[in-house]
Amino acid sequence: MTTPPASGARADRTAGPMVKAEAVHKRFGRIEVLKGIDLEVGRKEVMCLLGPSGSGKSTFLRCINHLEKVDAGRLYVDGELVGYRQAGNKLYELREREIARKRAEIGMVFQRFNLFPHMTALANVTEAPVRVKGESKGEATERGRALLERVGLGDRVGTYPSQLSGGQQQRVAIARALAMRPKLMLFDEPTSALDPELVGDVLDVMRQLAEDGMTMVVVTHEIGFAREVGDWLVFMDEGVVVEVGPPREVLSNPQHRRTQAFLSKVL
């Protein structure tokens, strides 16, 4: 079984899962990257995806907010189909404006920070709420300052990305995602591009988000973070979910030989 049972420490399942994947398939040309993914993420839960490069982790993450279109199966966020509407037995892709509206409800933080280099930290955080959600400049600025304070950068509001360290840029990127008031946060190896001494500050922000009840799906190789913060650890390999369970159980006593082989190299 690849769907976690309804027993996560923080889970709120009164309204169904926040993310539900049913037999999700994705191909790039002849290569089948996802081969039938079945997973659920409960509200307020943190699910960590672990596995070797090329296992499909990042592709699955990108499918959740329709940056990649699934070729078969169903993906739901907050009970609604991702990227499509269903009429009878057929699926019809949503118009781009509707897709963008839905995508705005899902925060995503990438390996590379993708900040606007010509904008200050505060402007990076306030741009989308003003342009996409129609917030007033004053409201967005007030919230942007609060979010930068929350990620430990309250004194850097007027600083440009080139003047920030990689870890600081990534924390601005997290604040930018939070500025859209997302119901779900996706993290695609958010610390992989950082120098080791900068990783801790980013993980601390993510820990606080988890404590505050944010639903999160995190592709990561940070084993300690997965063990301490994750409600579920999913090990993927070659486009399938190989093993899933509470992180401490999977890490201390992996059941599948592929999980065992991978963890023997990284622990």
Per-residue pLDDT tens digits for 178-204: 999 999 999 999 999 899 889 999 999
133, pLDDT greater than 50? yes
Per-residue exposure over 198-208, b if at least 16 CB sit within 10 Å of its own CB, e if not: bbebbbebbee
The answer to whether 218 touches 49, Cβ cutoff 8 Å, is yes
Q: How far apart are CA 205 and CA 150, in angstroms?
A: 8
pLDDT given for residue 15 in this prediction = 72
The mean pLDDT value of the chain amounts to 92
Token code pair at residue 76? 């739901």
Token code pair at residue 60? 């699955």
Token code pair at residue 111? 């390996």
Residue 14's pLDDT band (cuts 50, 70, 90)? low
Centroid of chain to Cα 44: 13
Token code pair at residue 196? 């080791």
